[in-house]
Structure 1
């Protein structure tokens, strides 16, 4: 709902605090689960601010030889969330970055309706009670939200599962290409329609040639510059890598695979995220990629 792990933690604490203080007024006319969802939704609606990824700010950059452009410092960025793939197996599409980013295009109440119906799986009557809407209004909002999400979020069909042998092999090739600054090897694991986003930079790229051109010119300048380690639990149930430059936290990468190749690269240039994902800020001995 909020697009930020830190904001979600604050909202969860506020929800439980309000529930504790108001429990003597709970009359049992709905389940405790529905009542808690109502409190949580109201907390989120009050705190809601639109969060974005760079692709929402404008067209992709075509001149990859230029340095990345910083965004307005007031921009509120969508953030990754640690989610165990096993816990996300039943609703994998509902936790992917692409889905959460698409949610940001919905009006607040449509967003709440979609999450309460399709993710929390509450009946329409309970959603109506939680949001102060009629059941007919809930169903109408859900229909509009689903149509918008279908336009904004990619179809998950054909995406490789995180535990597949192809995924592991391609992920290992991707890691080695980054560590060895091997743009040619990286080309072999990217789709032609790959995109690259790098919050907090506003600049983003669409297409394999611009992505490789930018990475080869500005990022993968020499072998050994980066040390790359897997992250578990990963972000949004997707393959996630921690990048260290000269042994210090540099960025988290969240990868989206489709048909065995990388379709989206999200590079979060925010070392402050490392503790959230249980990663050291200064690199010591860490495990290799799981087999």
Structure 2
């Protein structure tokens, strides 16, 4: 049975979640949007051949999207974060030289995640499935392993459904899933203690972090970090581990860029995020970075600081901010 005459109406409910799925596979928002558009174009061209007796529309669309992602990943290097490339630095004054040859992992804007009208359990599951550390760890998997893990463990398709989507057997799916889980076992930080961006304690911690950052109060800022806090700064391949080195580096940032920063709250990957604006002479403040925070019951455990025009565009961030705002 073919899809009804109004194709757009039929597929519209799935567009957002397809972007999220493609983002998990590809690690880049702009590529995920492109592949989702390609998926819907392929679906439109094949709409007369769709048979609802064989698969639901959602399952059919995920089959097209997953295979489009696998094609896009052929011959591609993985998208890492700096911590995936080498040891941390202990020099807060190391040169900040971007490595633009690396296809860095990108964050996912909050607008792609399920809204408040969705069941809270669904929202929580989707948020957990796009945590930045998890998406970074999935880059260690082969594309095929990544696809199986997402379809089985995140999207909860059955082994038979995944086998049909990928053109393989249920036994092969289960074998690939075991290997993928084993590969991730030591690479993904445990979720214990992680807080969602709508958690009251998280909001209070982030608000204190914002006040300390805007006041250039490094001593207070450091108290909000866990002892083993990590700071990463793509496209600069440097990264720091431990609150002491984190604090020394932030002190250097204020020495270089001056004080009087402003932080604008937003969200990324189901985590709290902050757009940081720095002084730029006597004029308005200039967009400097997007900081994506991982907040636990012990404090801020991880901050990935993005300085990439494509990331700024994906989050629709204003390039400047009046200093009085």
In the other structure, the counterpart of 2:95 is 67
CA contact (8 A) 1:250 1:271 kept: no
CA contact (8 A) 1:240 1:253 kept: yes
Residues 221-230 or 208-217, more deviating: 221-230
If the length of structure 2 is used for normalisation, what is the TM-score?
A: 0.82
Question: Structure 2 matches for 1:7-86, cutoff 5 A?
Answer: 7-28=31-52, 29-48=54-73, 49=76, 50-71=78-99, 73-83=100-110, 84=113, 86=116
Task: Map Cα deviations across residues 216-248 of structure 1 (whole Å, 9 max, x no partner).
Answer: 1234657634211101xx100100000112312
If the length of structure 1 is used for normalisation, what is the TM-score?
A: 0.91
In the other structure, the counterpart of 1:131 is 166
Question: Structure 2 matches for 1:79-98, cutoff 5 A?
Answer: 79-83=106-110, 84=113, 86=116, 88-98=123-133
CA contact (8 A) 1:166 1:260 kept: no
In the TM superposition, residue 162 of structure 1 has moved relative to its aligned partner by 2.3
In the TM superposition, residue 132 of structure 1 has moved relative to its aligned partner by 1.3
Task: State which of 295, 299, 323 in structure 2 corresponds to 1:261.
Answer: 299
In the TM superposition, residue 271 of structure 1 has moved relative to its aligned partner by 4.0
In the aligned structure 2, how far is the partner of 1:192 from the partner of 1:238? 20
In the TM superposition, residue 181 of structure 1 has moved relative to its aligned partner by 1.2
In the other structure, the counterpart of 1:102 is 137
CA contact (8 A) 1:200 1:268 kept: yes
CA contact (8 A) 1:53 1:101 kept: yes
CA contact (8 A) 1:242 1:249 kept: yes
Return the structure number with greater relative CO, CA threshold 8 A, min gap 6: 1
In the other structure, the counterpart of 1:143 is 178
In the other structure, the counterpart of 1:244 is 277
CA contact (8 A) 2:96 2:238 kept: yes
CA contact (8 A) 2:109 2:268 kept: yes
Residues 20-29 or 35-44, more deviating: 20-29
In the aligned structure 2, how far is the partner of 1:225 from the partner of 1:240? 19
In the aligned structure 2, how far is the partner of 1:15 from the partner of 1:221? 46
In the other structure, the counterpart of 2:11 is none
